[in-house]
Amino acid sequence: MKNDLPASRLTVGFVGGGPVRALVVYYSETGNTEKVARAIARGLGAEAVNVKDVKDVSEYDLLCVGTPVHYFGPAKPVLQFLDSLPSTPGKMGAAFCTFHNTGNEKTIQVVRRKLEEKGLTFLGGFSCKGQSRIVANIGPRVFNKGRPNEEDLRKAEDFGRSLSSHIKKS
């Protein structure tokens, strides 16, 4: 479900007379965060790329970073990605996460802080529950079955559109 446009042609809007290029970067183990990333990218008119496949973000004006919640915070590959970003004042950032039960607000705040430390202006965050399977002493259990669902993905796409709309007004 990749966007067929070459990356050099993916623009969200115009700021200061020039095109704004956006990239949705995500890490996903079960596919939940990837589904949300692709929905946000659709709304934003951008490409969604796994954090493991990101080579250079210098040509993008907006980075939307997504992660599952791991131990009440971002997953390690996302933290490593954020720590490796160069200082990029004047660019914009956003965050999203999928979660089992809790930790979503803290996770968004950690990503926000790391983006702001690199000089990005934070535009907002989005989170939704994701299906998870936990093996406990009582046996395996599935939580949030079927999530993210169609409504979650619609809200994610709306979040992408809101980022696009915010940028166009800047």
Task: For 138-165, write each residue's pLDDT tens digit.
Answer: 777 888 999 999 999 999 999 999 998 8
Evaluate whether residue 103 is within a structural domain. yes
The answer to whether the bond into 140 is cis (omega within 30° of 0) is no
Report pLDDT for 19. 54
The predicted pLDDT at position 116 comes to: 98
| Number of structural domains found in the chain | 1
Instruction: Look at residue 15 and tell me if it is in a domain.
Output: yes
Residue 18 is which amino acid?
G
* Pairwise CA distance, residues 56 & 64, whole Å: 14
pLDDT of residue 15 exceeding 50, the answer is no
Residue 11 pLDDT > 50: no
Q: Beta partners for 129?
A: 99
> What b/e string do you get for 55-75 counting C-beta neighbours within 10 Å, with b at 16 or more?
eebeebbbbbbbbbbbeebbb
Q: What average pLDDT does the structure give for the chain?
A: 87
Residue 13 has pLDDT above 60, yes or no: no
Both structure tokens of 149: 């669902």
pLDDT in tens, 70-116: 989 999 999 999 999 999 899 999 999 999 988 999 999 999 999 99
Residue range 42-69, pLDDT digits in tens: 999 999 999 999 989 999 999 999 999 9
User: How far is the C-alpha of 117 from the C-alpha of 115, rounded, in Å?
Assistant: 5
Q: Which DSSP letter does residue 17 get?
A: T
Domain that holds residue 154: 7-169
Please report, for the domain that includes residue 23, its CATH number.
Answer: 3.40.50.360
Q: With left for phi above 0 and alpha for psi between -120 and 50, is residue 10 left, alpha or beta?
A: beta
Strands 22-26 and 47-50: parallel
Question: Who contacts 16 (Cβ-Cβ below 8 Å, separation ≥6)?
Answer: none
Tell me the pLDDT band of 168, cut-offs 50, 70 and 90. Answer: low
In a domain, 148, yes or no: yes
Q: Is the pLDDT of residue 14 over 60?
A: no
Q: Which pLDDT belongs to residue 142?
A: 86
In a domain, 2, yes or no: no
What does pTM read for this prediction? Answer: 0.86
